[in-house]
């Protein structure tokens, strides 16, 4: 794959060879000031093929990602890894993929077998703690980008990380390199990054409405309360007494109440960035007996001069032309976004009140995990955002 830097006609420029350079050239060409290059940029982006490895492919997020990548016309999976089942056929773990993968990709490999490979990008679907150490091996090769679906690189404050996760960061020197992968908010930073920290599912549902509202001084960053409800797939593949069918069915349970859940720290760090000062809030998640989906109901105070119309206008401006975020006039349901990379939201101001209530819904497995990870890959390589997600 080759592309002329900037596509400047009549001038000979150095030829670029790496996908990193191709992506950089595409971003330059897609700049509105370079409108003459748009056609060529799109032509080159359509010819690009991204080589991919997936760490921890046998978990729920890994399987969701494999399914999405099979629909991506410019992605090629080079390998899938599993520490628990190396040598096993992926189709044996997930029969829905029988006949969908080449034999060499279908056979799961251990980290030791793939750690010296140099794909264009590695998605890490490993558990917290293990992910950072494995990601470091690929970051060291100078080529591979890493999109980490664990929480290992989401927090920039190492003291907060230690408090939230109960241990010091395993690879602290890599943390400043990470960019928070909330795609609609940090697209420019993501497009330049080699290490992308994919956001948590709950933070995605809360931050997509809250970040622009706090940043644009529509709502106060103080006194925010987030009440979220998630399907059981958010707890991961390994069952427990909390997520076992017998315990979860016909029951709703709160957990990590108020200031206890680790995702609270993630939301607060991002909203502190939006507000330009430290933000504190309350966040309580609930387990709902359904397979997938998150519904977050958010309560916040409108700032003087702002009302629900101003809040809606702010969100409409932020997400005008967005491929995945929709502002609604009715109340969204999790079923409306199931199996999609969409986020639907509505704002409401009770009569005679200065409170703003926001309802936001996503699919926790797609927009809250693997779909957003793929969206981040598209951004990182200058590909159309909806590729593999439409």
Q: Which residues form the catalytic set?
A: 201
Cβ-contact 89, 58 below 8 angstroms: no
In this structure, the number of other CB atoms found within 10 A of the CB of residue 18 comes to: 12
Alpha-carbon distance 342 to 299, whole Å?
Answer: 22
Using CA atoms, how far residue 186 sits from 179, 196, 198, in Å, is 8, 11, 11
Alpha-carbon distance 128 to 109, whole Å?
Answer: 20
Mode of pairing for the β-strands spanning 121-124 and 145-148: parallel
- Tell which residue, 204, 188, 153, 212, has the closest CA to residue 379: 188
Which residues, other chains included, contact 192 with Cβ-Cβ below 8 Å and sequence gap of 6+? 179
Alpha-carbon distance 142 to 334, whole Å?
Answer: 41
Cβ-contact 346, 329 below 8 angstroms: yes
Alpha-carbon distance 139 to 265, whole Å?
Answer: 26
Q: Where are the alpha helices (DSSP H) in the chain?
A: 19-29, 38-47, 60-69, 90-93, 103-106, 111-114, 130-139, 158-165, 187-192, 201-215, 245-248, 263-275, 308-318, 371-380
User: To 10 degrees, what angle do helices 19-29 and 38-47 make?
Assistant: 150
């Amino acid at each position: 794959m080759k592309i002329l830097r900037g596509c400047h006609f009549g001038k000979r420029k150095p030829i670029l060879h790496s996908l990193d350079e191709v992506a950089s050239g595409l971003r330059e060409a897609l700049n509105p000031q370079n409108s003459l290059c748009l056609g060529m940029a799109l032509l080159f982006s359509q010819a690009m093929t991204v080589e991919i490895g997936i760490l921890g492919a046998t978990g729920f997020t890994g399987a969701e990602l494999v399914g999405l990548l099979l629909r991506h016309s410019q992605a090629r999976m080079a390998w899938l890894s599993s520490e628990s089942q190396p040598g096993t056929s992926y189709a044996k773990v997930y029969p829905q993929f029988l006949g969908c993968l080449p034999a060499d990709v279908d056979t799961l490999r251990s980290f030791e077998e793939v750690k010296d490979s140099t794909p264009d990008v590695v998605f890490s679907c490993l558990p917290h703690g293990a992910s950072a150490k494995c990601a470091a091996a690929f970051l060291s090769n100078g080529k591979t980008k890493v999109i980490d679906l664990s929480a290992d690189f989401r927090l920039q404050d190492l003291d907060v990380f230690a408090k939230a996760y109960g241990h010091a960061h395993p690879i602290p020197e890599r943390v400043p390199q990470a960019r928070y992968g909330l795609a609609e908010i940090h697209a420019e930073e993501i497009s330049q990054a080699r290490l992308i920290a994919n956001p948590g599912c709950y933070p995605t549902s809360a931050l997509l409405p809250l970040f622009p509202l706090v940043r644009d001084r529509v709502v106060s960053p103080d006194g925010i309360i987030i009440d979220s409800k998630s399907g059981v797939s958010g707890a991961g593949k390994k069952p427990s007494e909390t997520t076992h069918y017998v315990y979860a069915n016909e029951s709703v349970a709160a957990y990590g109440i108020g200031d206890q859940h680790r995702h609270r720290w993630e939301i607060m760090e991002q909203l502190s960035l939006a507000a330009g000062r430290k933000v504190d809030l309350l966040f309580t998640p609930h387990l709902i007996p359904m397979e997938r989906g998150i519904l977050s109901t958010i309560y916040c105070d409108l700032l003087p001069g702002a009302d629900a119309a101003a809040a809606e206008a702010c969100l409409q401006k932020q997400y005008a032309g967005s491929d995945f975020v929709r502002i609604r006039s009715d109340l969204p349901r999790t079923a409306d976004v199931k199996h999609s990379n969409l986020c639907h939201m509505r704002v409401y101001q009770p009569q005679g009140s200065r409170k703003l209530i926001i309802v936001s819904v996503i699919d926790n497995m797609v927009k809250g995990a693997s779909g957003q990870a793929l969206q981040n890959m598209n951004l990182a390589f200058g590909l159309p955002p909806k590729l593999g997600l439409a």
